[in-house]
């Protein structure tokens, strides 16, 4: 399937664009115009702010989360087709995502305080424990959690409307360090805080993971014709939220509409942006359905899809290399570049492009990404493939 891999590859661009101003290029000056987006002093900065407000912030993360659930669903279905019993299937999934959580913990402490893999690992373990639940029960859980998250987020956005100064965002609690040892200490304490905040992240992102898991079991993305109405609804919801909230948020950050509306739109985007995860994925499935069917009939995938798909197949390696490159250019004790919104977006794009080229080379050589290879080896053993230890029935 092209859709999951292409989506992962494109999501890494959105994550890079969002992380650049909010997690990598941090400074103590929170008074500059559009500070959350990296600061705006030129028309190019203004364009970057508007573009990333619509396309990047709380866009790539929920889409990647939906894909994580989709991936768990594909793994479970593959094991079921091969005759794995329920207990053995659960053990395989839990072990795989426990190692992902371990990778995330190391990544968060050693390199990037904003790591998401630890949470994804925990969420994958939870999905591995409940994968026997019916689609109906899982969707009820997902919708219930989405309603709770939406209610909580909209309440905060209303509070920000009446008290914008009390809830204004000032750039986050993480402070860049001047030396690598100091950064390690900061990252360690920040990771401990994030680990304790895992239930909060579960409330926000676990619902779309469940939706992705159910989509894998139902064949929603592989049989677009049979699920077109559902996909159209999700795509429409995603577009309305991305443009209807992202655009006024960016305009308020720039002061084009009243600046004291920025906290309101920021909290509203955090609350409703999670819906764009399934929405973007649905839109992509609809967009490339014709190409997908031709590929299944034996045609080669066009380069504009096969290249981002190559990165999507190696998304863990792409994400970690992305962190390494950002670490080099943004850390105060290394290059420590001082940029505004447009410059940050350009750096984010070229870092993503570098991982895109690397993935295309590995695809041409028919090689896995290095971290995918390591993850499979640790999860499944020397063969890199889950094996039945004893005969059993699913």
246-283 pLDDT per residue, tens: 999 999 999 999 988 999 999 999 999 999 999 999 99
Is 210 inside any structural domain?
yes
Statement: residue 172 has pLDDT above 50:
no
Is 385 inside any structural domain?
no
Percent of the chain with pLDDT over 90: 86
What is the value of pTM for the model shown?
0.93
Is 390 inside any structural domain?
no
Distance CA 256, CA 334 (A): 36
On whether the CB atoms of residues 314 and 361 are closer than 8 A, the answer is no
On whether the CB atoms of residues 342 and 301 are closer than 8 A, the answer is no
pLDDT class of 13 with cuts at 50, 70, 90: very high
pLDDT tens-digit map of 190-226: 999 989 999 988 999 999 999 999 999 999 999 999 9
Distance CA 2, CA 293 (A): 10
Name 366's Cβ contacts closer than 8 Å, sequence gap at least 6. Answer: none
Distance CA 73, CA 117 (A): 18
pLDDT tens-digit map of 297-323: 999 999 999 999 999 999 999 999 999
Q: What is the mean pLDDT of residues 20-45?
A: 90
Distance CA 306, CA 200 (A): 36
Neighbours of 335 (CB within 10 A): 11
pLDDT tens-digit map of 228-248: 999 999 999 999 999 999 999
Residues spanned by the domain of 118: 2-380
pLDDT class of 32 with cuts at 50, 70, 90: confident
Distance CA 382, CA 292 (A): 33
Is 30 inside any structural domain?
yes
Is 392 inside any structural domain?
no
Is 92 inside any structural domain?
yes
Is 253 inside any structural domain?
yes
pLDDT value of residue 125: 97
Percent of the chain with pLDDT over 70: 95
Based on the structure, what is the number of domains in the chain? Answer: 1
Statement: residue 168 has pLDDT above 80:
no
Q: Which residue has the tokens 């985007």?
A: 269
Q: What DSSP letter does each residue of 6-60 carry, written as one string?
A: HHHHHHHHHHHHHHIIIIIS--S---STTGGGT---SHHHHHHHHHHHHHTTTTH
pLDDT class of 394 with cuts at 50, 70, 90: very low
pLDDT class of 388 with cuts at 50, 70, 90: low
Give the CA diameter of the chain: 66
Tokens of 287: 């967009």
Is 115 inside any structural domain?
yes
Q: What is the mean pLDDT of residues 45-60?
A: 97
Q: What is the mean pLDDT of residues 159-178?
A: 70
Q: What is the mean pLDDT of residues 4-13?
A: 96
């Amino acid at each position: 399937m092209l859709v999951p891999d292409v989506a992962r590859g494109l999501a890494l661009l959105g994550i890079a664009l969002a992380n650049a101003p909010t997690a990598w290029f941090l400074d103590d000056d929170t008074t500059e115009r559009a500070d959350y987006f990296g600061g705006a002093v030129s028309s190019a900065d203004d364009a970057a702010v508007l573009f990333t407000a619509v396309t990047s912030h709380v866009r790539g993360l929920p889409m990647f989360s939906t894909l994580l659930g989709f991936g768990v669903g594909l793994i479970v279905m593959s094991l079921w087709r091969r005759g794995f019993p329920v207990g053995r299937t659960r053990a395989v999934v839990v072990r795989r995502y426990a190692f992902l959580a371990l990778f995330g913990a190391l990544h968060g402490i050693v390199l990037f305080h904003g790591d998401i893999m630890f949470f994804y690992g925990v969420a994958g373990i939870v999905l591995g424990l409940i994968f026997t639940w019916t689609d109906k029960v899982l969707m009820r859980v997902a919708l219930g959690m989405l309603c709770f998250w939406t209610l909580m987020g909209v309440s905060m956005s209303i509070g920000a409307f009446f008290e914008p100064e009390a809830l204004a965002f000032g750039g986050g609690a993480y402070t860049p360090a001047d030396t690598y040892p100091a950064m390690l200490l900061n990252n360690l304490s920040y990771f401990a805080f994030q680990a304790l905040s895992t239930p909060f992240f579960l409330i926000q992102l676990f619902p779309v993971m469940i939706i992705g898991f159910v989509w894998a079991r139902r064949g929603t993305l592989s049989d677009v014709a049979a699920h077109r109405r559902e996909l159209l609804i999700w795509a429409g919801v995603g577009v309305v939220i991305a443009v209807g909230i992202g655009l006024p948020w960016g305009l308020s950050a720039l002061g084009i509409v009243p600046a004291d509306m920025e906290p309101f739109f920021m909290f509203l985007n955090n609350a409703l942006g999670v819906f764009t995860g399934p929405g973007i994925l649905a839109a992509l499935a609809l967009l490339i359905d014709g190409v997908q069917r031709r590929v299944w009939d034996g045609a080669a995938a066009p380069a504009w899809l096969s290249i981002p798909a190559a990165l999507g197949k190696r998304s863990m390696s792409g994400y970690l290399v992305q962190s390494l490159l950002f670490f080099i250019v943004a850390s105060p004790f290394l290059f420590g570049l001082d940029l505004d919104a447009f410059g940050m977006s350009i750096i984010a794009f070229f870092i993503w492009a570098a991982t895109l080229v690397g993935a295309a080379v590995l695809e041409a050589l028919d090689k896995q990404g290095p971290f995918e290879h390591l993850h499979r080896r640790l999860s499944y053993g020397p063969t890199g493939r889950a094996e039945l230890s004893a005969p059993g029935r699913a």
